[in-house]
Chain A
């Protein structure tokens, strides 16, 4: 099956800083999604981005499908950005394979 690696596993930043989270995957995909898991466990959809670049407010994402990686950018971090960020991929209409996540802590 597809392998997904996320880096870094943990990241501690001061409020206002920018961050880049990376997701590498081992095979071609037709679905790549970024999620933020809140403290109650809810997965919040951030981006559906199997290729290309998207932006939503302070967040943006880029997927380079030919090189099998995706990047999530968070600018001007806020304490509410804290939590676990997951990258997940799938080929075809399959279920998602999740990376191990990046645990982000934004300190005031």
Chain B
């Protein structure tokens, strides 16, 4: 149980275009989903928290207009990187938790490369 999927696993896009990443909880209802970013050989940094049906809460320094987050259902959250630039290249990982526990379950991650 507690499986989280992400799609795509890997994406390459041109500078200036937008990319959408999906995060799904497959076998539980995720009242809260989180988006993290990881640079090579570094730790994970929380970008934003989204509760189903509400606007996302962004961490300090994360541009909400660049990283659009939607959590329209209890099993799906999306992260859209708008007008991507090479510095947005990174590993993006989502996690999800149910209302019953603080424990988070992570997706396999999406490696974004902006050329």
A and B are interacting partners = yes
**What residues make up the interface of A, taking CB atoms closer than 8 Å to B?**
30-31, 33, 35, 40-43, 45, 48, 50, 86, 88, 90, 93-101
Do the beta carbons of A41 and B102 come within 8 Å of each other? no
When the two chains form their complex, are residues A42 and B43 in contact, meaning their CB atoms are under 8 A apart? no
Cα-based distance from A97 to B95 in the complex (angstroms): 13
Contact A33 B104 (CB under 8 A): yes
Q: A100 to B43, Cβ gap below 8 A?
A: yes
A40, B109: Cα distance in complex, Å: 9
| Total chain B interface residues with beta-carbon distance under 8 A | 25
CB–CB B103/A95 < 8 A: no
Interface residues of B (CB under 8 A from A): 2, 32, 34, 36, 38, 42-46, 49, 59, 91, 93, 95, 97, 101-106, 108-109, 111
CB of B2, distance to nearest CB on chain A (Å) = 8
When distances are taken between beta carbons in the complex, the residues of chain B under 8 Å from A43 are 44, 93, 106
CB pair A95–B106 under 8 Å, yes or no, is: no
A95 engages B43 (CB within 8 Å): no
Q: Provide the bound-state CA to CA distance between A96 and B93, in Å.
A: 12
Contact B108 A95 (CB under 8 A): no
Please name all residues of chain A whose beta carbon is closer than 8 Å to the beta carbon of B38 when the two chains form the complex: 41
Q: Are A90 and B106 in contact (CB under 8 A)?
A: no
Closest to A91 in B: B102
Complex contact B108–A31 (CB within 8 A): no
Distance in Å: Cβ of A90 to nearest Cβ of chain B: 6
Docked Cα-Cα span, A94 to B34, in Å, equals 9
